[in-house]
Structure 1
Amino acid sequence: MTEHQAPLQKIVQDLPELEGDEVLLKVRASGVCHSDLHFWEGGYDLGDNQEMNLSDRGVKLPLTMGHEIVGELVALGPEAQGLALGESYLVYPWLGCGTCDTCAKDQENLCPNAPRALGIFTPGGYAQYVVVPRAKYCLTLGDLDPAEAAPLACSGVTTYSALKKFGDDIRDTPVVILGAGGLGHMALRVIRALGGKGAVFVDLDEAKRTAVLEAGALAAIDGNAPDADEQIKAATGGGALLVLDLVGAEATINLGLAAARKGVRIVVVGLFGGQLKIPTVYFPIRAMAVIGSYVGNLNELSELLELAKSGKLSLAPVTRRPLQDANDALMDLKDGKVIGRVVLTP
């Protein structure tokens, strides 16, 4: 990407000389994610005509997007250990400064200093090769299909980390999931892998509602329906207690609140934008919690990958597209033409 909201450009660069613990992977698969679309747009809607510009967060162009990466190891830096040439690895992309207390606890996704996430702050996977700063961020893929496994690095670990915030309650309480796109399908599979009761979906798109019903959702509700909140209450047996907002818009979080019973926990993942305006007294009176969840940490991705390798987590089929279709794939996502997940295969 050479500028925001402009077509992606092909750039040819020399392969870098590896230093320290760096490793070089030949990309086998790179997912096309809604985060890529926000990145392409150049900012986030903060409501009241306010916007957070990515340049203010330290994003510098040109930059290669793509953070859901599987690659084959082709070279190691002089200090890199523990990896095998020719093996395929799933890459953990949510990197921080690597030196602060937060990063030392393997919580790099929450680093307060200098985020270095692949495909956002440093070159990512919309390419033939990618440099990973440290060998520990490469997780052995095993026999998993590279294209199907790539989304675990974002949609997978994002939904897994968010659902873990509900604890064991997902075993006997349905999760209301706002958004039935690629993240929604992944969340449904993660709920199954964790032994959850199931999910009630809300989405504006009829095709996406049909798709999640076919995938095993308990119910799929039109978010535009005038009685959507009442339909959610009926589908959950009296009101939502666990809400996963994969959209993150004013309309979705407000619908979640309208459909909730006392004690609700709402975990917000989506970045659509807007503002939440709510009387503070509602928090104690309704005994409710609104929690943000930002992707996931390295340990969580490792746990999720093991669930997939064990067969407990079934990977969703994906639509494969060649690397040269990256711009078209991104625009299809922008136009709402994508059901499930698109993965580029260089």
Structure 2
Amino acid sequence: MRSWQVFQASEVLREIEEATPEPVGSEVIVSVSHCGLCHSDITLWKGIFDMGEKMVSIDSIGMKHPLTLGHEIFGTVTAIGPEATGVEIGDRRLVYPWLGCGECDACRANQENLCMQGKPLGMRRPGGFGSHVVVPHSRYLIDIGDLDPALAATYACSGLTAYSAVRKAMPARPDEAIVVVGAGGLGLSGIVILKALGHENIVVVDVSEDKLETARNAGAHTTVLSVGEDVTRRMVDAVGRPVRTIIDFVNNSETVAFSFPALARGGRIIMVGMFGGQITIPTMRMAQGGLSLIGSITGSLQELRDLVDLAKSGKLAAIPYEYVPKSKINDAMARLHEGRVKGRIVLQEEMA
């Protein structure tokens, strides 16, 4: 098998040839045909998490190089272990990558994405930047029917993360404004999911007019350019009143700083993005305003199944995406790192 691996932080990925793994127990081997490229891959490639008060290296939390990244995975089953059931060689499947330990309270509540001992594909297990991945059980494989496999691959993280965040924003009246901060791949996913669920008042905030145009094409009803001063006032003016729900797909010091003062009483910010930073929150206002700051990390296996069902229903529009051959992965990583991508890049395995 081939894989493109990170040997040193921020260095170009190296193409490696190694033995294709053999499945044991309930394991399933999936030959990767499509793998979405995610900002999380850039963070792991750089090797540093911005935790606000300090910078934390991935090595310090047990993530050792070399790393085979990639967690938005679609492919074909090529081998199954002797205890694997419910899947056959040749099946084409979307892979749920957010694997837990299977034993903790979060896992037993079917929230493996919240497992403290989790070993997600593309992070703590080799991922879709390789030609093959080892999936520990067939329950993590989802039949997408007739959906486009490249688009479906993005559902495993971008789509799922946005879907889980949107579900946390519910219930909300269809005409009640929901503010989406960030019009990158995650934000665009949030827009089309809100529309698919029947929402009719989506306000999108971004620093790029080009991305706001893309957001409007995806279904945003109102947009706000978040450059200069008075971003909070412009958000409130766009909504027509203080805001009850903000979904922050950027989630850095700047976006939370202009979002928090825009909240109405009972308002909430659903904090999704991992661009890092910190903010000082007035505790009295939190209590007096009945405000909520809600973290949202990826999503559960059932939420991914629900998202795929929504896509199968025909209600979920496609976000912009483009194919890039996996052999051009370093160019694709550079473009994403520099902010030169509209929507998502999907790495495609070249035909032999």
**Residue of structure 2 equivalent to 1:111:** 115
1:66 matched to 2:70? The reply is yes
1:217 matched to 2:220? The reply is yes
**Residue of structure 2 equivalent to 1:237:** 240
Contact 1:176–1:242 (CA under 8 A) maintained in structure 2: yes
1:139-167 deviation line (CA, Å, top 9, x unaligned) = 01211111111110001110111111121
2:20 corresponds to which of 10, 15, 18? 15
1:4 matched to 2:9? The reply is yes
**Residue of structure 1 equivalent to 2:293:** 290
Letter in 2 for 1:33: C
Contact 2:320–2:342 (CA under 8 A) maintained in structure 1: no
1:327 matched to 2:330? The reply is yes
Letter in 1 for 2:115: C
Contact 1:67–1:153 (CA under 8 A) maintained in structure 2: yes
Contact 1:170–1:191 (CA under 8 A) maintained in structure 2: no
**Residue of structure 2 equivalent to 1:171:** 174
What is the distance in 1 between the residues matched to 2:146 and 2:321? 17
Give aligned pairs, total.
344
What is the distance in 1 between the residues matched to 2:305 and 2:322? 24
Q: Gapped runs of 5+ residues in structure 2?
A: 1-5
Deviation at 1:198, TM superposition (A): 3.1
Matches within 5 A, 1:303-322: 303-322=306-325
SS in 1 for 2:191: helix
Deviation at 1:62, TM superposition (A): 0.7
Contact 1:127–1:323 (CA under 8 A) maintained in structure 2: no
1:190 corresponds to which of 170, 190, 193? 193
**Residue of structure 2 equivalent to 1:248:** 251
1:37 matched to 2:70? The reply is no
1:53-77 deviation line (CA, Å, top 9, x unaligned) = 2122221111210000001111111
Q: TM-score, normalised by structure 2?
A: 0.95
**Residue of structure 2 equivalent to 1:102:** 106
Q: What's the C-alpha RMSD, in Å, of the aligned pairs?
A: 1.2
What is the distance in 1 between the residues matched to 2:290 and 2:75? 46
Letter in 2 for 1:12: E
Deviation at 1:259, TM superposition (A): 1.9
Matched residues, percent identical?
Answer: 42
Deviation at 1:3, TM superposition (A): 1.3
Letter in 2 for 1:51: M
SS in 1 for 2:267: strand
SS in 1 for 2:303: helix
What is the distance in 1 between the residues matched to 2:173 and 2:129? 36
Deviation at 1:170, TM superposition (A): 5.2
Deviation at 1:274, TM superposition (A): 0.8
1:28 matched to 2:33? The reply is yes
What is the distance in 2 between the residues matched to 1:74 and 1:46? 40
Matches within 5 A, 1:258-277: 258-277=261-280
Contact 1:188–1:198 (CA under 8 A) maintained in structure 2: no
**Residue of structure 1 equivalent to 2:140:** 137
Contact 2:321–2:342 (CA under 8 A) maintained in structure 1: no
What is the distance in 2 between the residues matched to 1:317 and 1:184? 12
What is the distance in 2 between the residues matched to 1:82 and 1:315? 29
Letter in 1 for 2:202: A
What is the distance in 1 between the residues matched to 2:277 and 2:319? 30
2:92 corresponds to which of 88, 91, 114? 88
Deviation at 1:17, TM superposition (A): 1.7
Deviation at 1:197, TM superposition (A): 2.2
What is the distance in 1 between the residues matched to 2:206 and 2:113? 28
1:202-238 deviation line (CA, Å, top 9, x unaligned) = 1111211111112221122111132322221122120
Contact 1:95–1:117 (CA under 8 A) maintained in structure 2: yes
Contact 1:20–1:78 (CA under 8 A) maintained in structure 2: yes
What is the distance in 2 between the residues matched to 1:101 and 1:238? 40
What is the distance in 1 between the residues matched to 2:104 and 2:144? 29
Contact 1:191–1:198 (CA under 8 A) maintained in structure 2: no
The range that moved more, 220-229 or 288-297, is 220-229
Q: TM-score, normalised by structure 1?
A: 0.97
**Residue of structure 2 equivalent to 1:343:** 346
Q: Gapped runs of 5+ residues in structure 1?
A: none
What is the distance in 1 between the residues matched to 2:169 and 2:141? 28
What is the distance in 2 between the residues matched to 1:170 and 1:338? 33
